[in-house]
Amino acid sequence: MRLATMRAGGRDGRLVVVSSDLSRCAGAAGIAPTLQDALDNWATAAPELEALQQRLDDGLCADAAPFDPAHAMAPLPRAWQWLDASAYPSHGELMAKVLGIAPELYGAPLMYQGLSDHFIGPTENVPLPDEEHGVDFEGEFGVITDAVPMGVSPQQALRHICLVVQINDWSLRALAGREMKTGFGWIQAKPACSMAPVAVTPKALGPSWREARPDLDLLVDWNGVRFGRANGSPMEFGFHELIAHAARTRSLPAGTVIGSGTVSNANFREVGSSCIAERRGIEIVDQGEAKTGFMRFGDRVRMEARTKDGAPVFGAIDQAVIPFRPQS
């Protein structure tokens, strides 16, 4: 099943089902007006949404219309929680080497809680206050859960993964170091994230979903030039384990989004990177200094996950960074 949220005048948009080829959509208001409504009642809403998408794929929806990502919001435009992990060991090990520190072995996922009251739509421009803040993209995968009880095991957590999404976790690197040193977490260095237009059930991913990990290539282009094509499968912890970690001492409400952290592969010199910081880290290790700058206003980043046979999955995030203009 594939779901999206179209602009409809309100903050939460209008829920639609999307055809398997991402070309058409049909309104789901008779089942759930918004994705959050569907998540709050997932056990009953999901089968009805599945049936609606099947009718759409079979050409039996009279109200079917072309699916235009330019009119899509993030699938979940605002969420109760956004919890982001760092689940790719190759990324963490490289960053530790760059900083000249021994990588710490925690035996548990690294995770922080970020801004969740707004996820940016897939084709919206991204306004930021100052390009000297070190504007960086971070290509990630994520999951959206229904209500998760406190203390679930990883095996139990599998049942609570409703949807898989593709995320750009924007970062302001020049502000990150100071906030990391406080030990209190991110505020200024982590603005709102972006989401690709379509959220997909694990079942719909088929063989591309293994051990709660996405076996998908994340194609990242910066100003029209391929920057990375890392695969999402080599997570140290699967999403079921990330959910169990987050729910160890608290319940998670329906509409919780959990991220994988920057997608990274051990052969990053061959496949490229999903963020600029990793590319700069490789340059420091190989050449003694970073050569690649961060994004400038007017720069554009495009991210699209594809299966092994090249089929699109979530649609694309395709955005430009622009200067923030305060309203007078």
Using alpha carbons only, what angle is made at residue 142 by residues 139 and 147, rounded to the nearest 5 degrees?
Answer: 160
Tens of pLDDT along 140-164? 999 999 999 999 999 999 999 999 9
Least confident span in 59-63, 93-97, 309-313: 93-97
Residue-range domain boundaries for the chain: 2-70, 74-323
Do the beta carbons of residue 149 and residue 159 sit within 8 Å?
A: no
Specify the pLDDT at position 151: 98
Q: What is the CATH number of domain 74-323?
A: 3.90.850.10
Tens of pLDDT along 99-119? 666 555 567 888 999 999 999
Tens of pLDDT along 248-269? 999 999 999 999 999 999 999 9
Helices 89-99 and 276-287, packing angle to 10 deg: 50
Least confident span in 176-190, 238-252, 274-288: 176-190
Q: For residue 101, report the phi and psi dihedrals to the nearest 5 degrees.
A: -125, 155
Where residue 49 falls among pLDDT bands split at 50, 70, 90? very high
Nearest-Å Rg of the Cα atoms of the chain is: 19
Specify the pLDDT at position 103: 54
How long is the chain?
328
Specify the pLDDT at position 298: 98
Does pLDDT of 88 surpass 70? yes
